[in-house]
Chains A and B, each alone.
Chain A
């Protein structure tokens, strides 16, 4: 059974619309992350949260907003979608920070913006 659940697995969105990607982890971890992977760029760090507080943000655009309603939830809201946002978005979690702790990834949400 997957321990990190991402929804939806696939979605197609229209340019200018807004979508929310859902992530729940059942590993008991206290740190959660969002990464993005596209054909043009390698696995790219976006956000990290620890105990529901933002630890790091490498996303320049405010169109990407993480939302943590519970310790084991970290959703990603994307507004004003652009074709360049097309990518697979991976949620990950770890027990503590990445300093010595392994990151575990969900299966990803593949977003296509048309």
Chain B
């Protein structure tokens, strides 16, 4: 069964610092990766998606994808306390009808 592994499990960064989160899929058929953010007590909301090898930047957030290693990473620069949340990586193979989520990385940004 497809698994999505995230690391680290938790991360503490100072305000203004850089947060780096990792994610790897065990299924070689995966074609699409998403990053979702879930604030405490709220529902997950899509942050960024990446489908092609390389890098994608949106504001303070940058996502990398290496399809050969099925590895994606999310980098948050100039981290803010409001970035404190659970970050979920998700993957979907092209022929499947579900999105599989990793266990998440809990990010805390401290002043």
Contact = CB atoms under 8 A, between A and B. Distances in A.
A104 B96 contact: no
B43 interface: yes
B32 A45 contact: no
A14 interface: no
Contact of B31 (A35, A99, A106): A99
Nearest to A50: B97
Interface residues of A, number: 24
Interface in B1-46: 31-32, 34, 42-46
Contacts of A43: 44, 88, 101, 104
A98 B43 contact: no
Contact of A99 (B46, B96, B102): B96
Contacts of B88: 42-43
A99 B94 contact: yes
Interface string A28-39: 000101010000
A33 B88 CA distance: 17
A98 to B, nearest CB: 4
Given A98-B32, A99-B31, A99-B92, A42 B99 contact: no
B43 A106 contact: yes
A98 B31 contact: no
Report, nearest first, the 9 A-B pairs whose CB atoms are least far apart. A55-B97, A42-B103, A98-B92, A105-B43, A43-B101, A98-B99, A56-B97, A45-B98, A48-B97
Interface of A: 31, 33, 35, 42-45, 48, 50, 55-56, 58, 90, 97-100, 102-108
13 contacts: A33-B98, A35-B101, A48-B97, A90-B43, A90-B44, A97-B97, A98-B92, A99-B92, A99-B94, A99-B95, A100-B51, A102-B46, A102-B49
